[in-house]
Chain A
Amino acid sequence: MFTINVNGVDHRVEAPGDAPLLFVLRNDLGLHGPQFGCGEEACGACKVLVDGAAVPSCRLPLQRVGAARVVTLEGLAEEGEPHPVQRAFSDEQAMQCGMCANGMIIEAVALVMRGNPTDDGIREALQDNLCRCGAHHRIVRAVRRAADELWR
């Protein structure tokens, strides 16, 4: 039995300690934001915020989460208001299939909370997040829009 804090709520989870956090989030907690893309920390589809840092959850063992605060796509909204990055992804229509969108948004939230990035900084930050449909320019525009809104 483990207790993990996800989206501001403590959850008691009956799962093996070596279970990847991704499967616990999806199968035990019923969340749909983080997606399975590769299971090898190589594509970014499964990213979540762990104490504010964007990390892949597909290999992060449950027992290593400890008291960290985990935030998923579902937990980004505050008082029912989507995070500016979520709103910007919608405004820029910054996806095609959307399977990569979770990781892109999570990575972008971590980025814009650190400071106001340049466009090159956005591309560098998203370098390890893969998109197969080719929404890259829209994604950069969405992050730009959100960063400008937060830092203007």
Chain B
Amino acid sequence: MSTAADGTPIDDWIEIHANGRVTVKTGKVELGTGLMTALAQIAAEELDVAVEDIDMAGPWTGRSPDEGYTAGSRSIKDGGAAIRRAAAEARQALLELATAQLGDALTVARGVITGPGGRRSYAELMGGKPFHRTIDGRAPLKHPESYSVVGTAVRRADIARKVNGLDGFVTDIRVEGMVHARVVRPRTFGARLVDVDTSALPDGVIVVRRNDFLAVVADREEVALAARAAIRPLWTDGHPLPPMDDLFGWMRRQVTDDSDLVSWPRSGDVAAGQRTIVRDYHWPFQAHASLAPSCAVADVRPDGAVVYTAAQGVYPLQRALAQLLDLPPASIEVIHREGSGCYGHNGADDAAADAAVISQELGRPVRVQWTRFDELVWARKGPAMTTRMTAELAPKGRIAFWSADIWTPTHGGRPARPDQLIAGRLRDGLAEPEATAYIGGGRNAQVDYDIAAQRVTMRWLRKPALPGSALRGLGATANTFANECFMDELAALAEVDPVEFRRRHLTDPRALAVLDAVTQACGWGLPLPAGRGRGFAYGRYDGTGAYVATVAEVSIVDNEARVERLWIAHDCGLIVNPDGLRNQIEGNLIQSLSRALIEQVRWDAGGLLCTEWDSYPILRFTQIPPLEVILIDRPDQPPVGAGEPATITTAPAVANAIAAASGVRLRQVPLGGQLR
């Protein structure tokens, strides 16, 4: 397997300093998942140094490797593989240096090589110089059975810092001469700025207005905030939105670009006793709702710029900002700093573009802090999807034919051009572009059940109802909801236990292993009190990723479903850090339960209605059930990432549990409030 490191210099990835410390550079960003610790473990393992001796250096254009975006649960799989390869090459280079000085029969331990001629530390061997050697991908890799650092629960270095309030977040960046800005935007999209009444503004406020781009700037942050409240912009109505209560009907009436992901013909005639079943499932628009709104600091000068951002890709943002600012890409330094937990393409890129545009206008460094309103209304949403499932159920509980028709807009939308950035569209009067590629909606559209005749058709909307992009799981959330609820409905019609029904259609031993592990853990099949029910859901993320199987237990209290407990069995191949992995899985379960039960972006004719936490609530402490996480470690299998897989099976498991407990089948998320 090739990696991003192959053919590049070791020095792009690893530096060994004279004081013995090792810098490992990555193009993947820390999104709040502990990735940097896991990558340090991989480097430490392959390089034979202590993990404490490693300093991770995050993305910074011109200094770090270009690994595109940090997305798709690929940071361990791809970013980790690249670092592993680079570290192996570095170790090989050090061994060759040591052979010349110490002879053969060398041993390596914690950055020290010992041989017949004595011992040398890596730092002594390198003498503070670079490697000057290309990674050819042929250096031997350690066998996972010999691992001593990978697979252990190394503590996260960033947590030690964060409990003490030491700086490190993008919100903490302060640069000399910096001013504070707030953007001013309506709760609609496509509105034009007709007029601005600035008569009530506090003293010392600068108004930046270019076409529909409006911002207020002040030396002090509270003055900028007060100015945002006091300014009176007059906007036109903006693009009309389809009526919210007809969203899914509207989606199905749009012109779509259709493509079959699978089209395996049905075999012969319909057997006697075969039944055709058709069901519709719906998933709403949902928000990232990151805990803190996006923030960025930009210092744009005539000959270049420095931008601090929590965006998921510093190099792609650099290219987009170059066009926005009309500067050469290489003159723009984009530096990643951690932001609030990031679950996809949230407002980070747009806040960076806002800061850059304002800084360019004023010729001063600018810090833009989005408000809760900005983040909830203007950060791109996880797109709504609607699906029609059709199956033919043969006698003896086998699925003879399976089809899905999936209406979705693209789940892409990451900025490559000014019209894909809010600041670009507003400043230059550009329209939101139509999708140029259809991305992400087809994740988990195809089931890995053993069904000979299948058709899965993507019906891509050219324009979404609301601006959308990648939100954790992308189409896999809605698709797994449809697939796994439908499997349950078919099992019920076939009068077969839903887990047994799936078992009949699965052959992959790793799939069966997660199914067995979770059903044993929860005591599947044991009787439950009246008013309680359990639901099961299975998925393999994006077809080739982690295997997950989830069970939810719900009770019905006062015509409302209460989730009592969730169990999950999770197989993502080799486990790099079991505690970090558990943390990820727990987080996925809680966030996806919140999305399944209560989350939905609402709007009316006047625009979006999710403007603060009251109008876009998320689950709180007393609403969160106990979780049981079963990790299946497979050292013989490559690690495939865990950022999203555990998200996809929660909603169908809960819907299936509600059906089991109440007899009522819910086919639309959010599931809460529908039994009343």
Interface residues of A (CB under 8 A from B): 15-16, 18-20, 23, 26-27, 30-33, 35-40, 42-43, 45, 72-74, 77, 82, 86-87, 89-90, 93, 95-102, 105, 120, 122-124, 126-138, 140
Contact = CB atoms under 8 A, between A and B. Distances in A.
Interface in B79-130: none
Nearest to A102: B165
A123 B621 contact: yes
A132 B621 contact: no
Given A95-B159, A130-B613, A31 B291 contact: no
Nearest to B594: A134
Given A43-B613, A123-B622, A138-B586, A23 B291 contact: no
Contacts of A73: 163-165
B633 interface: no
B8 interface: no
Contacts of A37: 291-293, 372
A134 B590 contact: yes
A131 B292 contact: no
A18 B225 CA distance: 12
Interface in B335-387: 338-342, 369, 371-372
Interface stretch (B26-34, B314-322, B410-418, B518-526): B26-34
Contacts of A137: 586, 624, 626-627
A97 B291 CA distance: 9
B222 A132 contact: no
Interface in B279-303: 289-293, 295
B163 A42 contact: no
A32 B222 contact: no
B164 A35 contact: no
Contacts of A89: 159, 163
Interface stretch (B166-174, B444-452, B653-661): B166-174
B71 to A, nearest CB: 16
19 contacts: A15-B220, A16-B222, A19-B220, A32-B167, A32-B168, A32-B172, A33-B165, A42-B613, A90-B163, A96-B584, A97-B31, A97-B341, A98-B162, A127-B621, A131-B291, A132-B618, A133-B587, A134-B589, A137-B627
Nearest to B371: A39
B594 to A, nearest CB: 8
B221 interface: yes
Contact of A135 (B169, B180, B295, B586): B586
B222 A35 contact: no
A122 B289 CA distance: 24
A78 B567 CA distance: 41
Nearest to B624: A136
Q: Max chain B CB contacts within 10 Å: which of A18, A20, A32?
A: A32
Contacts of A30: 174
A137 B628 CA distance: 11
Contact of B158 (A45, A98, A124): A98
Contacts of A102: 165
A132 B172 contact: no
Contacts of A77: 164
A31 B589 CA distance: 33
Given A45-B292, A90-B160, A138-B586, 10 more contacts: A32-B165, A36-B295, A37-B293, A93-B155, A97-B340, A99-B32, A99-B339, A130-B618, A135-B586, A140-B621
B583 interface: yes
A37 B587 CA distance: 19
Contacts of B164: 73-74, 77, 82, 86
A134 B163 contact: no
A136 B168 CA distance: 23
B614 interface: yes
Contact of A99 (B159, B223, B292, B589): B292
B308 to A, nearest CB: 14
A42 to B, nearest CB: 4
B620 A130 contact: yes
Nearest to A85: B163
A37 B174 CA distance: 18
Q: Enumerate the 8 nearest inter-chain pairs by beta-carbon distance, A residue then B residue, closest first.
A: A97-B32, A33-B165, A134-B590, A134-B587, A97-B341, A73-B165, A98-B162, A123-B621
A132 B341 contact: yes
A124 to B, nearest CB: 7
B290 A132 contact: yes
Nearest to A105: B163
A39 B225 CA distance: 10
A89 B158 CA distance: 12
B171 to A, nearest CB: 6
Q: Max chain A CB contacts within 10 Å: which of B289, B291, B292, B624?
A: B291
A140 B369 CA distance: 30
A132 to B, nearest CB: 4
A127 B620 contact: yes
B225 A135 contact: no
Contacts of A15: 220, 222
Contacts of B289: 132
A100 B626 CA distance: 21
B568 to A, nearest CB: 13
B372 to A, nearest CB: 4
Given A74-B165, A86-B164, A132 B622 contact: no
Interface in B617-666: 618, 620-622, 624, 626-627
Given A82-B163, A98-B158, A18 B32 contact: no
Contacts of B612: 38, 40, 42
Contacts of A32: 165-169, 172
A33 B169 CA distance: 10
A99 B30 CA distance: 13
Contact of A36 (B32, B223, B369, B584): B369
A39 B224 CA distance: 13
